[in-house]
Amino acid sequence: MRFEILTIFPGFFAGIFENGILRRALAEELVSVGVHDLRAFTHDRHRTVDDRPFGGGEGMVLKPEPLAEALASLGIQPKAERRAALQSAEKSSPAPSPTPTGQTRVILLSAQGRPFTQAMARELATVERVVLICGRYEGVDERINQLYCDLELSIGDYVLSGGELAAAVVVDAVSRLIPGVLGNEASGEFESFGVADAEITSADDGVPRSQHGAGGLLDYPHFTRPAEFGGLSVPATLLNGDHKEIRRWRREQQLRKTLANRPDLLEGAVLSKEDEKLLEAIREESAGKLR
């Protein structure tokens, strides 16, 4: 999987991927990252990448020409040309196979974009190449979005000074979902926003499992040694070695945490009959506390 990052601040990425899981994924070539300086695609003495907005108003806007040139240097044409190339390739080949351009997603990082979610990260992890365009100032000339971008992506409802942090977030969240990156140490399926039990392909058949697939819920709380800390004990259930009971306890905690912190997620979550019952009991318990 290859990420191409287009930015006016390439130095931002120095060191950012040199830790932990990402460092290993890069070293093992499961992931590679290219950082491209937009100023390298300018032709004036001042290497100008921005200009004043048409219509007046505050700030500057990233010019379209350096971005278009940078994209062309990566073999990326405007969407209409990509579509036409794909159609003619499909016509001339009786058994169409995905072309390299069909395996590339061009993404504009933008506060106005669709919210970046774990489901989106899972989808992007199946793509060969992801191109991330980092805006600055007031943003990027809209024609770049219209002509080249498959997706406009926001990492949250707040405004950053540039798309670089957002690009790093996307690289991190997507990379760890690429097969082999997490290794045996963990599985994306058992984390917050993970898939439901039914979709888990790596189930340890016959081996007692103490985790549920998150099914769109938040993760449960984690504890490690010491068993006593700051006057608080680790919940007794986690110490008794009964995997079934641990699973049930963790599921209840997932439901409690999701209800408390992200009740909106419950609407799209995959819930079993037992989950529904537990949730009802938790709701009644909190209503009782309020009375």
Query: Which residue, 76 or 155, has its beta carbon nearer to ligand SAM?
Result: 155
**What's phi and psi for 111, nearest 5 deg?**
-65, -20
Asked if residues 36 and 73 have their Cβ atoms less than 8 Å apart, the reply is yes
Contact pick of 7, 101, 104, 110 for ligand SAM (by CB under 6 A)? 110
Q: Minimum CB separation from ligand SAM for residue 251, in Å?
A: 32
Does residue 163 interact with ligand SAM by CB under 6 A? yes
Asked if residues 64 and 143 have their Cβ atoms less than 8 Å apart, the reply is yes
Q: Minimum CB separation from ligand SAM for residue 38, in Å?
A: 12
- Report the candidate in 134, 74, 65 with the shortest Cα–Cα distance to residue 104: 74
Does residue 235 interact with ligand SAM by CB under 6 A? no
* Residue 212: Cβ within 10 Å count: 21
**Cα of 274 vs its chain's centroid, Å:** 30
Which residue lies nearest ligand SAM, judged by its C-beta?
A: 135
Where do the DSSP E strands lie in the chain? 2-7, 32-37, 50-51, 61-62, 104-115, 129-133, 151-154, 228-229, 232-233
Q: Minimum CB separation from ligand SAM for residue 227, in Å?
A: 41
- Report the candidate in 143, 133, 137 with the shortest Cα–Cα distance to residue 160: 137
Query: Which residue, 53 or 102, has its beta carbon nearer to ligand SAM?
Result: 53
Report the site for ligand SAM in 121-150 (rule: CB under 6 A): 134-136, 138-140
Query: Cα–Cα distance between 92 and 104 in angstroms, integer?
Result: 21
Query: Which residue, 123 or 137, has its beta carbon nearer to ligand SAM?
Result: 137
Report the site for ligand SAM in 5-64 (rule: CB under 6 A): none
The single-letter DSSP state of residue 207 is S
Does residue 155 interact with ligand SAM by CB under 6 A? yes
Query: Which residue, 160 or 234, has its beta carbon nearer to ligand SAM?
Result: 160
**x/- map, 237-256, ligand SAM, by CB under 6 A:** --------------------
- Report the candidate in 58, 61, 31, 57 with the shortest Cα–Cα distance to residue 49: 61
Contact pick of 25, 70, 109, 149 for ligand SAM (by CB under 6 A)? 109
Query: Which residue, 157 or 264, has its beta carbon nearer to ligand SAM?
Result: 157
Does residue 159 interact with ligand SAM by CB under 6 A? yes
| Residues at the interface with ligand SAM (CB under 6 A) | 109-112, 134-136, 138-140, 154-156, 158-163, 166
